[in-house]
Structure formats: C-alpha cells, structure tokens
Structure 1
Amino acid sequence: MNALFSAERLAARPELIGIRDALLAADGAYLYEFMKKTTSPWSVLHRLVAGNEPITHDAVDAASRPGTSLLRSLLVDTGVLPERNERLVAFETWIERTALSIIDEADRRTYLGFARWRHLRRARQHTTLTTAQAAGHRRQLTYVRNFISALHAQGITMSTAGQAAVDAWLAGGPPERACIKAFLQWCRTNGINKNLTVASPRPSPLPAVLLLPEHQHHALLVRVLDSKESIDPALRLAASLVLLYGIRNYELAALSLANIITTAEGVWIRFGPEPLHLPAGLARFAREAVSARSVTRVGRTTDDQQWLFPGLFPNQPIDPRTLSSRLAAVGIKPEKTRSTAMGQLAQQLPPPILARLTGIKASTAVRWSAAVAASYARNTPWLDAPREPVGTRDKKTFLN
C-alpha cells in the first residue's frame, strides 16, 4: 500500500489520496481479501495507479476482470471517476453482443437499427434506468431475435418473409410474442419489409391468485410483524409491504426517502398517485427503517441520503435481485406472496383505488379483479374456513 501510494505519486496525482484513505479506512479482513488475489480488483487498481495514463471508465472496462464493478464503485465514490449509468452501459453492450448471434448480416443491421432507435433511445431518456426497465427492453429484443432466428431456420430473411411466417411463429408460442409488433412496424417504415404485421394479439391470461395458501400467508405476516424476530427494520418493512399490498420487489428497491412521508399524524409511502397510509404497526417499522440506513462499500460503512435500500454504487439503489434474496431469507417468495396479497386487495378495493394506491396500471387492476371473479366462478376454495373478510382480522390484530 505504501509503495503504491508513495508520497511522490500522491504529490503528482493528488486525486489518488481519496482512494488511499478509503482503503485505509476499510475493514482489515476485507482489505486483505481485496488485495490477496492476482485477479482481484487490487491488481487492476495497481496497474491503473502505477501507470501514467489517466484513470477512466474505459480503462476499467478494458480490464474485464471479476470485481471491476467493485473497483469502479470505489473510484466513483472517491471522486476519481465521474458517475455514469452502469445499467445503460451494460444494456448498450448487451445489444452489441447479442446482435452477433444473428447470422445474416442484413438482418443483424436491421436488429441493431431497431434496438438503437427504439430501445436504446428510450433507455437513455430515463433519468435512472432501473433493473426492471432494462429487463423489459431485453425481453422484447430477445423475442425479436428469436423471431429472426426462426426465420433463418427456414431459410427466410426479414426482407423475404411473408405474413404466414409471422402468423405461424406467433401461434407457436406465448401471447407475449406479439411484442414484435413494434419491430415489424419499424421494418415497414424503413422499407425492409412492408407486408408484415401483428393483427390481433391474443389476450394474455389473467394473473394467478392465491399461489400461496392463505394460512401460510398469515403465518408469514405474523412472523414478519413480530418485533422479537431479528429482522433488519428496512427488510421487515419491505416484507410487510409485499405481504399486505403486493408491492413488487423492483418497486421496493427503488424507494427513495422522498417517497416516504412522515408526519406527527402518521406515515405514508408513495407508490402511485395516491400515497399509501401505513397502519400504526407498519408506520413504526418505516420510521425505524429510515433512521437505520447504511451500506457497506469497499469494506467501510457509508451513509446514504437518497435511498431506503442503498446499493453498491454511489447514488444507486439496491439491485432488486439482491433484495429478492434478502426477502427469501425471511421466507418471502415475492411472486407467490404477491399473488395472494393482490387477490385479497382486489376483493376489497375497486380497481381505480387499487391502481392509485399501489401504482399499478388501471388495466392491471381490472385484470386482478377479473382474476378474483374467475377464481370464485371456478369454485376455488379461497379461504381455509369461514371467517371475516380477507385481511380484516390480520390488520386488526397485528397492525394497530
């Protein structure tokens, strides 16, 4: 450490002082792990610091070694590198890489043109490209590539394909395949093939309800709300919001402190146009979560003034996949848990109110209500035994 950050080098490159100080402030065991392997971030940092070239994002990208994201976080946190939207950079790289799987050169150019014009351009318009937004762009482009690959398997290209090939491909898979409609429209506009369209997409199936039996859902709620359970306050709040209101993990991950409104009268969390008023029991957890936030970056605890769940990178929230893992550790499987919570809410709230409180689209709220009605029509045993309306006893007992 002393040899790399010598007095002479620090005098010539004062921007390195912050890096040295951050490493010296790190936990000793963590720093040892950081430095001991030749393929570790330390070896990359050693090369960057010992060299005479400026330290840039491109230089870190060129390293292409495990742990470079951790190193980049350190360099940004200490002001050596400017912040950049890492998800946007990763998405742009993903587009270029996946295009290589398209054999026909003309179709590869078509794919790249559409991906850059529609998806990359839209991704750049986001102030912060979230994990969910990036996943949505990737999912749609994956369907486009799969469609092109299916054509190539038949000896057809985008310029020679007929409507029958489109119809056959759409019929052979899930309704989500209809998302290539925008791609075909782009091809028509740009003269690549003016004869292809997606006529009438098949309706998507209604969401599944009660994937988690209600007695199990109730038991999870009891455990999460039990103050004797050793659960981090923010994680307890997140688990409660999934169990009671069906909030999705990527929405929880993106919760900023500005979304949490605390007054003497209570606590509200904003997911949609209308803030969600938390019951007294949950409000207590929310206050604890706001006051007990920290994140460990490069072996040192750092305060964050923006996010309820701070992430690895400065000014970025936690990755939703990381939050999902933490929820799973306390027994919460978001998909199953959400299906039961949303089913219960759809029983009690009209779709417009459900949409305004939880932030889902109005059409999605209608679909949840329809799913509940369809479940009753099939005589699905929603409740284990006759009891009060769903959720009433739980909230009375545990949240007040």
Structure 2
Amino acid sequence: MLANWGRTESLTLLAKMLEQHNGVTHELLDEQGSRTGVHYLRALLVSTGVLEERDEHMSRLRNFCQEYVAEVEDVEMRHVLSRYAQWHIVGGRRVGSSGLTSNQDYSARQSVRAARRFLDRLILRGQHLGECTQRDIDRWVLGAKTLTFVHWLKDQRLLAAELEVPERHIDAAVATNDPENHWTLARRLLHDSKSGGVEERVVGCLVLLYGQPLTRIVQLTRDDLIEKWSPAEWCTTDLSECAPAT
C-alpha cells in the first residue's frame, strides 16, 4: 500500500520538498507549476490543516499573469501588459466572501490574453503604442471579443489623443428584440462617427437595415460599392434586391 502511494506524483513531490526544504508552503508549491499532482497535494495539505486555506483561484490568476507577461520580449509592451494585468485585471476584480470564482478567473485570463494579442499585432508591425493608428483600432474592434484593453490604454493616455474607441460592439448591441432600440442604434451608426470605426458602422448598418448575414458581408469587395447615387437612381432602384437574406 505504502509502496503504491510512493509512486504517486503528489507523495513523491511531498517527499522531495521535505528533503530539500524541511517543510511545505504555498509559495514552494507555486514554484512547482500547475500540474495536477501539485493541486492535489495542496488541497490535501489544506484539508488536513497543514497549510492555511487561501483564495486558490486568485493565487493561480496572479501566477498566470506573472508567467504570461514574462513571455513578452519587448520591454515596453511587457511593462504595459504587466500594469494592465496586475492593477486593472487582478487588482480590479470584485471578489465575494468565498473568493474568486472559476468564471471570474477564466474571464480575467481571457482579458489578459486579448491584451497580449493586441500588443503582439503592434510588435509584428514594428510599432510602439504611440504609433498605433485609427486603422489599427478599427481592425481590432472588428475581430475582438472585448474592448476592455484598448479602453484602458485610452484612459491611461497610452494612445494618441485623437484615436477613437467605440463604447461597445455591434454584435452585443444588435441582440435586441426592441424595434425602437433597433432604429435608435441604426441612426447612431449612420450619423454618429464616435459609435465605431467606419468598417464596424457599415457592417452594423447592413445587419440592422438589410438583415444581411455576416457570411455574405465578408464577401463584399470595393466593386460592390456605389460611391454616389442621384435621387433619380434612389427612386428607380429595385429595393427587392436588397431584401434581407433568408
């Protein structure tokens, strides 16, 4: 029985740590990475009172951020990502009495990963944050699931003052069954330049006004655009051609 236990990863790790450090702490276990055996040993030691209970999800999130940020080679970008991860993501989490939840942990990690993808795009182009253009922002908005990082960059004045970042995504805004909400958003996209980038506003209008699916929109080219229509052309156009796709 004891021989079988000795072959398990957790007991082997425990024996090694006792031999090398004459004890076990949370910090020493953190240095062993995120292997299943490490998590099992920690839970066992906590349940038996050997180690104090701690907010495990928060601790793992902190460790993840430190390791993930350290992988960024560019010094400037690494510093920015570190600030965002430590102070805005980790430090800004609202934690209940039972600690950070697994969903909060997952959401926080996704935010940090998204931030790094944005910075990696700039690094790939050889750009500093101060050289980020409106086109860079607009391209990011079209494909990103969250705008938290670029809003943070704007608030921290790390982007040029003239750059505009939309408040929310089209896909989140159009998910409504309220007709009044529908037309309010359509008018905003048509007339408010601050509602998003040009590409995002065009896509939003095609979805809201013509019910076009994204699979069809992404196939459009410049040849499909009519730069200027006269009133006569508006009156004679067969609008059935623009009917929503079914």
TM-score range, shorter chain: 0.5 to 0.7
User: What is the RMSD computed on CA atoms of the aligned residues?
Assistant: 3.0
Change in Cα spacing, 1:116 to 1:204, as seen in structure 2 (3 Å) is same
1:193 CA drift (Å): 4.5
* Partner Cα distance (1:134, 1:108) in 2: 21
SS at match of 1:67: helix
TM-score (norm 1): 0.39
Structure 1 segments unaligned to the other structure (5+ residues): 1-27, 208-400
1:83 aligned to which of 49, 53, 63:
53
Equivalent in the alignment of 2:125: 154
* Partner Cα distance (1:66, 1:200) in 2: 40
Q: Does residue 1:69 correspond to 2:39, yes or no?
A: yes
1:184 CA drift (Å): 2.2
Equivalent in the alignment of 2:68: 98
4+ runs deviating over 6 angstroms: none
Q: 8 Å contact 1:187–1:193 — kept in the other structure?
A: no
TM-score (norm 2): 0.61
Q: 8 Å contact 1:88–1:124 — kept in the other structure?
A: no
Structure 2 segments unaligned to the other structure (5+ residues): 176-246
Equivalent in the alignment of 1:178: 147
More helix by share: 2
Q: Does residue 1:60 correspond to 2:29, yes or no?
A: yes
1:202 CA drift (Å): 3.0
* Number of equivalenced pairs: 175
* Partner Cα distance (1:80, 1:141) in 2: 33
Cα deviation per residue 1:292-327 (whole Å; 9 max; x = unaligned)?
A: xxxxxxxxxxxxxxxxxxxxxxxxxxxxxxxxxxxx
1:33 CA drift (Å): 4.7
* Partner Cα distance (1:33, 1:194) in 2: 64
Equivalent in the alignment of 1:238: none
Q: 8 Å contact 1:35–1:43 — kept in the other structure?
A: yes
Cα deviation per residue 1:347-389 (whole Å; 9 max; x = unaligned)?
A: xxxxxxxxxxxxxxxxxxxxxxxxxxxxxxxxxxxxxxxxxxx
* Partner Cα distance (1:59, 1:144) in 2: 29
**Structure with the greater relative contact order (CA < 8 A, sep ≥ 6): 1 or 2?**
1
Cα deviation per residue 1:93-141 (whole Å; 9 max; x = unaligned)?
A: 1111221343321111011111111111123744310011111111222
* Partner Cα distance (1:155, 1:199) in 2: 25
Q: What residue identity is the alignment partner of 2:100?
A: L
Give % identity.
23
SS at match of 2:131: coil
Q: 8 Å contact 2:118–2:140 — kept in the other structure?
A: yes
1:149 CA drift (Å): 0.9
Cα deviation per residue 1:238-285 (whole Å; 9 max; x = unaligned)?
A: xxxxxxxxxxxxxxxxxxxxxxxxxxxxxxxxxxxxxxxxxxxxxxxx
Equivalent in the alignment of 2:90: 120
